[in-house]
Structure formats: C-alpha cells, structure tokens
Amino acid sequence: MGFSIALIVFSLLLMLLVLMHKGKGGGLSDMFGGGMQSSVGGSSVAERNLDRITIVIGVLWFASVIVLGILMKTNS
C-alpha cells in the first residue's frame, strides 16, 4: 500500500517537474527572471537544479515501479 501511494506521489511530482522544464521558449528560468542568458551559453542554476531534481524523482519513480512489481509477483 505504501509503495502505491509513493508511486502516485512520484508520478504527480514528475509530471509537474517535466512541465516546468524549458521548451522552445520559456520555462523555469524565464519565470524567475533568468530570461537573459549569457553569451557563454549553458543553462541557469535554476534549470540545472530542476534537471537534477527531475532525475532523482525519475529514479525514485522507476524504483517504486520495480518494487511494486516484485511485491505483486511474490504475493501471487
């Protein structure tokens, strides 16, 4: 039961984080005033942190899917 709730929470967080990412224009950095990028290139600190958080939540989501699959297999 706990892993099912965790999967739902991670799914909602992952959807929110992916929607916050920068597409063709806009995104988290533009929302908080980072629209002016330097000529050196690269992304802002907010975008890099958003990338890291998204990766961590994605790994946790994947792990909860695996654990739920194992639990369902052993309970059958």
pLDDT tens, position by position, 8-44? 999 999 999 998 887 665 566 566 665 555 544 556 8
Q: Which of 50, 65, 66 is nearest to 13 (CA)?
A: 50
Run of H or E including 41: none
**Whole-model pTM over 0.75:** no
Both structure tokens of 32? 């908080």
Whether pLDDT at 62 is above 50: yes
CA 26, distance to chain mean position in Å, is 17
